[in-house]
């Protein structure tokens, strides 16, 4: 009898899905993995301790026990997906291949989307002292491919018998940058998802962005991949969700915007709230007391104290 009921239920669900134009297909079970109860994310790996968005920074974050590696994605001229926050080499903390400073006059000259990855890889992004992060360990480093980061992280997890982590990948895009700093949203997402699927980590991926367009493309084409809306504006939850056009898995506001009312509202929508970027123990404690579902920090070493 129970088997008959299960069969009838399955048929009903299938018929409903086929007859409703608004219902998206149910994603496979392996893609429905829940997020951690409290998600501790290493911002750009462990930016406060090692050069941002590099493999050493990601491995350091894993060593410190994060549940999610947070990172930024850009696209090179030859279509490679690489890690970088800025769309160009940032003279504040990055150097020319010769080891020399990037002149002020060329501050935004070296655009990643206008350079092949083979050239991008020759720049040194870890040897220059970065005054904003005085604890950052200096080392020669380069902007890695996303595929390299995944391979390195997965190998480290296996070698050290660690729990599987999530990958929170930000698409660095905005409408004014299309064709100059990055490809259009559809092309950007196609290239990013191709790497994710090649490395077979789809169930462990979150795609986040300040740009609703990339999230909209992802939700339309790959509704099983988790999404996070990054927010630093004062429009409020309802208007931001209305602009996005669907309910994301995560709402990720600037930490100073988090209030008890915002936490309550996001939970009422069934959305997790994970603020950025939280770099003091006191602020972590304040936000956790408000009921947030995770934290994004440049200093994942503070999580042990939390």
pLDDT confidence of residue 14 = 38
Residue 49 resides in a domain? yes
Which helix (H) or strand (E) segment holds residue 15: the answer is helix 2-19
Give the pLDDT confidence score for residue 32 in this predicted structure. Answer: 59
Rounded Cα distance between 228 and 212, Å, is 10
How many C-alpha atoms does 189 have within 13 Å on its Cβ side?
Answer: 21
State residue 28's pLDDT score: 43
For residue 177 the two structure tokens come to 């940058």
Q: Does 297 map to a domain? A: yes
Digit-by-digit pLDDT tens for the chain (306 residues) are: 444 433 334 433 333 333 333 333 333 444 559 999 999 999 999 999 999 999 999 999 999 999 999 999 999 999 999 999 999 999 999 999 999 999 999 999 999 999 999 999 999 999 999 999 999 999 999 999 999 999 999 999 999 999 999 999 999 999 999 999 999 999 999 999 999 999 999 999 999 999 999 999 999 999 999 999 999 999 999 999 999 999 999 999 999 999 999 999 999 999 999 999 999 999 999 999 999 999 999 999 999 999
CATH number, position 92: 3.20.20.190
Q: What is the dihedral of CA 266, 271, 276, 281, to 10 degrees?
A: 80
Characterize 190-213 residue by residue with b for buried, 16 or more Cβ atoms within 10 angstroms of its Cβ, and e for exposed: ebbbebbeebebbbbbbbbbbbbb
Tokens of 280: 């003091």
C-alpha to C-alpha distances, 214 to 72, 231, 232, 236, nearest whole angstrom: 14, 14, 17, 20
- Please give the angle made by the CA atoms of 106, 108 and 111, to the nearest 5 degrees: 115
Tell me the C-alpha to C-alpha distance, in Å, between residue 202 and each of 32, 60, 68, 88.
10, 23, 14, 28
With beta carbons less than 8 A apart as the criterion, state whether 37 and 29 touch: no
Compute the half-sphere exposure of residue 281: CA atoms within 13 Å on the CB side of its CA: 6
Residue 65 included in any domain: yes
> Is 25 inside any structural domain?
no
Give pLDDT, residue 179: 98
In a domain, 33, yes or no: no
Q: What is the pLDDT of residue 190?
A: 98
Q: Which helix (H) or strand (E) holds 228?
A: strand 226-231
Q: Would 126 be classed as within a structural domain?
A: yes
Asked if 189 contacts 214 with a C-beta cutoff of 8 angstroms, the reply is yes
Indicate the number of domains in the chain. 1
pLDDT value, residue 137: 98
SS3 180: coil
| Helix 185-198 vs helix 146-159: crossing angle, to nearest 10 | 30
Residues 6+ away with beta carbon under 8 Å from 77: 112, 113, 114, 115, 116, 117
Enter the DSSP assignment of 191.
H
pLDDT digits (tens, 9 = 90+) for 224-281: 999 999 999 999 999 999 999 999 999 999 999 999 999 999 999 999 999 999 999 9
Whether residue 13 is contained in a domain is answered as no
pLDDT digits (tens, 9 = 90+) for 279-301: 999 999 999 999 999 999 999 99
Which residues, 6+ apart, have CB-to-CB distance to 112 below 8 Å? 74, 75, 76, 77, 82, 84, 87, 88, 89, 120, 143, 181
Closest CA to 203 of 163, 172, 169, 167: 167
Domain of residue 152, residue span: 38-303
Q: Does a structural domain hold residue 299?
A: yes
């Amino acid at each position: 009898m129970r088997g008959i009921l299960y069969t009838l239920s399955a048929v009903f669900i299938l018929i409903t899905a086929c007859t409703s134009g608004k219902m998206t297909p149910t994603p496979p079970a392996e893609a429905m993995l829940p997020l951690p109860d409290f998600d501790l994310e290493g911002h750009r790996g462990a930016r406060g301790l090692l050069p941002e968005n590099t493999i050493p920074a990601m491995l350091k974050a894993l060593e410190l026990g994060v549940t999610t590696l947070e990172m930024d994605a850009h696209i090179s001229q030859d279509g490679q997906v690489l890690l970088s926050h800025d769309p160009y080499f940032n003279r504040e903390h990055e150097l020319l291949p010769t080891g020399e400073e990037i002149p002020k006059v060329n501050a935004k000259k070296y655009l990643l989307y206008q350079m092949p990855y083979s050239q991008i890889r020759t720049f040194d992004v870890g040897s220059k002292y970065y005054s904003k992060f005085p604890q950052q360990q200096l080392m020669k480093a380069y902007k890695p491919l996303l595929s390299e980061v995944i391979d390195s992280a997965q190998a480290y997890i296996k070698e050290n018998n660690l729990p599987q982590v999530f990958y929170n990948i930000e698409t660095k895009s905005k409408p004014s940058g299309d064709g100059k700093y990055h490809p259009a949203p559809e092309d950007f997402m196609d290239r990013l998802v191709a790497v994710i699927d090649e490395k077979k980590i789809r169930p462990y991926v979150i795609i986040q962005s300040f740009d609703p367009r990339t999230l909209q493309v992802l939700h339309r084409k790959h509704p099983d991949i988790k999404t996070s809306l990054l927010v630093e504006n004062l429009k409020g939850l309802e208007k931001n969700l209305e602009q996005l056009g669907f309910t994301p898995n995560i709402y990720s506001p600037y930490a100073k915007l988090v209030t008890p009312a915002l936490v309550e509202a996001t939970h009422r929508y069934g959305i997790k709230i994970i603020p950025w970027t939280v770099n003091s123990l006191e602020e972590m404690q304040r936000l956790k007391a408000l009921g947030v579902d995770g934290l994004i920090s440049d200093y994942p070493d503070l999580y042990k104290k939390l």
